[in-house]
Amino acid sequence: MKSAFLKKVRDAIRKKHYSIKTETTYLYWITYYIRHHGLQHPSKLGTKDIRSFLDYLSLKQNVAPGTQKIALNAIVFMYKHVLLIDPGDFSDYHKATGPKKLPVVLTRDEVRLLLQQLSGPAFLCAGLMYGSGLRVMETVRLRISDIEIDRLTVRVRDGKGRKSRFTTLAPDLVEHIEHQFNYIKSQYEIDKSRDWDGVYLPNALEKKYPSAPFEWGWQYLFAAEHYSIDPRSGKKRRHHIAEQTVQRSIRQAIQKAGITKPASCHSLRHSFATHLLENGADIRTVQEQLGHSDVRTTEIYTHVLNRGGSAVRSPMTGIIS
C-alpha cells in the first residue's frame, strides 16, 4: 500500500480485529472519498465535505441505501479512529432510497427440488442455510466446535454486526454433518503431518492460546481443498471455502430445479424464517434465530403468516427423503 495514510487506516482496522472483507471495503470507500475531493488529506475535510460526498453517492451515483450506509460507516471510522476527529453533524445528507422489496421465499417443494440438485458440501451448506437460517458467510465460517449434535444446536460466531447467537440444527442433517466431520478429520490428520501453521483464529486468540490453531475443534467445517497464504500474517493455512463457491452452486441448482423466482442463497434464509412462522413460532423466537437486533427487521416475514406459538422445530424436517 503506497499511501502512508491508507496504511494507517489499515492498521487501525486491524487493531479493531475487523475481517479482511471489512478492511477491503473500508479502504475502498475511504480512497473513493479522498479522490472525490481532489486528493485532499481527510484532515482538511469536514462536515460539509462528508455531506456532499454522501449526497453525490445518492443523487449522482444512485447507489442503494445499504451501499451509502457502508460508505458512511467507513468515513466515520476514519475520522473517529484514525484522525481522532469528531466528524460533526451531517445528518441532513440526502439519504439514498430504493424500492422496498419483499424477500424471495421458496415453497417447501421448491426447497426440496433445489436440494435434490446438490451433493457434498454444497448440499450441506444449503441445508444449513435453510434448516438453521444462516447467511452464506456464516455457513462457510462454521468451526467443528460450533456444531452440537447432541443438543441440535449451531453456534454462529461474529455474525452480521459482529453478533454471536445459537440457532436450531435440523435432525435431518446430522448424518450429513457426521460425514463432513469424518472428511475434515482425515484432512486434518494429513495437515498435522505437514508444514502447516494451523487455522486462522479471530480477535488475536492465537496470541492468547498458541496451540488453539492446531486443535480439532477450531478447524473449519467447510475447509478448502488447498492451503493459502494469510495476507496479514504470511502464514500457510487451510482457510474455509469461498462464499462465491457456494453461491455459484446454489445458483446452478436453482436453474436445474426449474425455479423461476429470482432466488439466491439468501432466499433459503428467508424461507427458514417464513416457514418457522408457518410452523407456529412467534416473531420474537424467529428474531432470535435470525440474529436480528430489531424485531421490525423480522416482521417483514409476517406478510406470509403471523400467529402465536413458541416451539422451534426446524423447517428442514421432512425435506430430505
HEC string of 92-118 equals CCCCCCCCCCCCCCCCHHHHHHHHHCC
Catalytic one of 135, 141, 143, 270: 135
Is 301 among the catalytic positions? yes
Is 269 among the catalytic positions? yes
**CA 15 – CA 308 distance, rounded (Å):** 45
Is 28 among the catalytic positions? no
**CA 260 – CA 251 distance, rounded (Å):** 11
**CA 244 – CA 73 distance, rounded (Å):** 25
Q: Is 201 exposed, middle or buried (0-12, 13-18, 19+ CB in 10 A)?
A: middle
**CA 129 – CA 170 distance, rounded (Å):** 11
User: What one-character-per-residue DSSP string does 259-282 give?
Assistant: --S---HHHHHHHHHHHHHHHT--
Cβ atoms of 170 and 163 closer than 8 Å: no
Helix (H) or strand (E) holding 237: strand 236-237
Mapped onto helix, strand or coil, the DSSP state of residue 143 is strand
Mapped onto helix, strand or coil, the DSSP state of residue 167 is strand
Is 313 among the catalytic positions? no
Catalytic one of 160, 248, 284, 303: 160
Is 160 among the catalytic positions? yes
**CA 296 – CA 302 distance, rounded (Å):** 10
Residues involved in catalysis: 135, 160, 266, 269, 292, 301
